[in-house]
Amino acid sequence: MKKECEIVQDLLFGYQDGTLHIASKELVEKHLKKCEECNKVFNEMKKDEVEESAQEEEIDYLKKVKKKMSKKNKLLIIIGTILGVIILFNIFIFVYYYHEARKVEIYLNSDVTEEQMEDIKNAIENIDKNAKIEYYSKEDALNELKEKFNDNKDLLAGYGGDNNPLNAYYVINTSIENARKIESLEGSLPGIKKITTNLSYNPYEFILSNIAIELTSN
């Protein structure tokens, strides 16, 4: 290789980058016009530069795609989590509601007789012989009220015995279908003051009403 070719080829990187002084640039340009070998080397350099540039663009593109996919995946995870919470919350609401909707409360008149109470129990068992029937006396009802409203100051202490305004009642656990049948007993049997169920609520109203009661009692 000629001495001038060695010098020019050493300067080709600077020439390609545009960092040569004017004199060196003119030397390279003048030499390239007459030297086929150096032109070949310079063309290879330009080819490599194009390939490197294409690779860098491809890498940049892949990085952008990866970044977009990462954001998309995060968004999908967030949406999936929110939907999962909503689904679980709704499952909880409906399971809780249908559990509570099976309960029937039959409040008894203050002058209810033993015979009337027995007739009421027999009517319930005729509808559902497997129904779970629990009896709560007037005192039980008062104690439950004190506990429910956290009566720490004994505001209800003056109520009791003959001064107890609450009614004894039955709590019946049955199926929703039988709960409706038992609810229809109101007005048909003596000794019953009223019958209450949660069947008139939709699940969301039921949960909201319970939350309101809890907030009020606290």
Residue 140 lies in a domain: yes
Q: Where are the beta strands (DSSP E) in the chain?
A: 103-108, 132-136, 169-173, 192-197
Q: Which two tokens stand for residue 193?
A: 């003051």
pLDDT tens digits in sequence order for the chain, 218 residues long:
467 888 877 877 777 778 888 888 888 788 878 888 888 887 888 776 666 666 777 777 777 777 777 777 888 888 989 999 999 999 988 888 888 888 999 999 989 999 999 999 999 999 999 999 999 998 888 888 777 766 555 656 666 667 788 899 999 999 989 999 999 999 899 999 999 998 877 888 877 776 766 666 55
Given a contact cutoff of 8 angstroms between Cβ atoms, the answer to whether 148 and 140 are in contact is no
Residue 169 lies in a domain: yes
Q: Provide CB contacts within 8 A for 28, sequence distance 6+.
A: 8, 11, 12, 15, 20
Q: How many domains does the chain have?
A: 1
Residue 170 lies in a domain: yes
Which of left, alpha, beta for 113 (phi over 0: left; psi -120 to 50: alpha)? beta
Which CATH number goes with the domain that contains 191? 3.30.70.3040
Helix (H, G, I), strand (E, B) or coil at 50: helix
Residue 109 lies in a domain: yes
Residue 156: domain span: 102-200
Residue 155 lies in a domain: yes
Residue 207 lies in a domain: no
Residue 21 lies in a domain: no
Residue 22 lies in a domain: no
